[in-house]
Amino acid sequence: MLYSSLRSLKIHFIHAKPTQVKGQKPKKVLPLLLMHGWPGTVREFYDFIPLLTTPSDKSDYVFEVIAPSLPGYGWSQGSSKTGFGVAQVAVVMRNLMLRVGFNKFLVQGGDWGSIIGSNVASLFPENVLGYHSNMCGNNSPLGQIKLVLASFFPSWFVDSQHASFYKGLGHMFSTILEEMGYAHIQASKPDTIGNALIDNPAGLAAYILEKFSTWTNPSFRSLPDGGLTKRFTYDQLLDNVMIYYVTNSITTSVRLYSESMVASQFALAVDSLPIKAKSGCTRFAHEIVHTSDSVLANKFPNLVHSTHFSDGGHFPAFELPQQLYDDFVSFVQKADFPVILDLRSRYGVSVESKRDLHLERVPTPVPTGCARFKSDIMQFLDIQLQDKFTNLVHSTYHKQGGHFAALEVPKVLYQDFIEFVKKVERKFRIKSL
């Protein structure tokens, strides 16, 4: 569990580094910003991330994954000021990637992760190599006009083989009436619903788990248990609920709706900025809403990957991680991104490769101090060290202590270190800060 302070907010994130398989040709490495939505958390990615970081025959790439808890979600601090919508969150997410050390990276997300990721790609084209989403949308004025026209003239906008995915305005309005009540209250009265759920674990579970039923497959609504265990285990689902409960973050999480669905946010017109990066859009059959390639065209002028799946719903990383992984790496293979990180030089280098570097033969020219403690596992004489440590300015032997000197004799180790520092100061005439 890692944290970074950005714009006075403490942001929690998972940092998962790729592995290397001994004897296998090193994979190309790409940094990936992976984002969840509501009512999800980073728990959605526990089975998805290992697929991304483990070398596979299906891809020439592995990924160094940064998966943050969105501000106000889980262990990430929520904003104490108004005016913190998706555009501002996008700035924080981009800055997080820069802080971790990645100037260029991929973006993947669904739900809010899709919208925030779209904002990151639109606002910072110099940083985003590619964008992939399982919930691509186009909220630009032109996109909305095309969406309406597609409902009346579907053959103009939709390939006949995927017609079942695009059900028109009638189905959209029906979905809004039946399924979007939560969004209305969260956009208009977030603190009302939030405070009602804070100290109410049963109510919080009911409020969240209903979405994992309906949004996974609408037919599950007719089942006695909502079909929850058809795709998830209770442990997985309750882990997700408990993250909201123990971090007291349900209220701050739903405020993202009220901060994003306001005139001041729409006035930024980020939705009208095209995404220049190579993009990939995948649709899972039971997603709440789908947008066709023709409707997406002005928002995604560089759409290189578009797929439809006959199964799956709103939470594919949680529900069908292998299928989402396969689609994501297919997009990356098509896009043929340049190498950003060299796995061999960064981590995962085999023991044989490390030996080939002969680092033990490279001398250490900086001022060095060596302290020996009597019961340590092994000791080296100065004469043995002199070709390695060419600037040995401090050498001591102590009659007490062993391998864990900082734990056993901390005062002795501290005093030895201070003496070393003083010798360096005297020799190089350095004045302590």
Question: Would you please indicate which residues are annotated as catalytic (active-site) residues?
Answer: 111, 257, 314
Unique residue bearing structure tokens 């209305």 = 184
In order of 77, 213, 242, 248, 293, the CA distances from 74 in angstroms are 8, 21, 9, 8, 34
Rounded to whole angstroms, the Cα distance separating 143 from 376 reads 70
Q: Which helix (H) or strand (E) holds 243?
A: helix 234-246
Determine the Cα–Cα distance for residues 316 and 310; give it in Å rounded to an integer: 12
Q: Which residues of 21-42 are buried (b: 16+ CB within 10 A; e: fewer)?
A: eeeeebbbbbbbbbbbbbbbbb
CA dihedral of residues 75, 194, 206, 204 (deg, nearest 10)? 40
User: Which residue bears the tokens 């928002």?
Assistant: 299
Residue 374 corresponds to which amino acid? K
**Preceding omega of 365 cis (within 30 degrees of 0):** no
Q: Give strand pairing partners of 14.
A: 67
In order of 104, 193, 286, 335, the CA distances from 17 in angstroms are 16, 38, 32, 22
Inter-residue contact 49 to 65 (CB < 8 Å): yes
Given a contact cutoff of 8 angstroms between Cβ atoms, the answer to whether 211 and 42 are in contact is no
Interacting residues of 290 by C-beta distance below 8 A, sequence separation 6+:
165, 166, 283
Q: What burial letters (b/e) apply to 341-357, b meaning 16+ CB within 10 Å?
A: bebeeeebbeeeeeeee
Tell me how many degrees the CA angle 111-112-114 measures, rounded to the nearest 5: 70
Token readout for 207 is: 């409020």
* Terminal C-alpha separation, the chain: 33
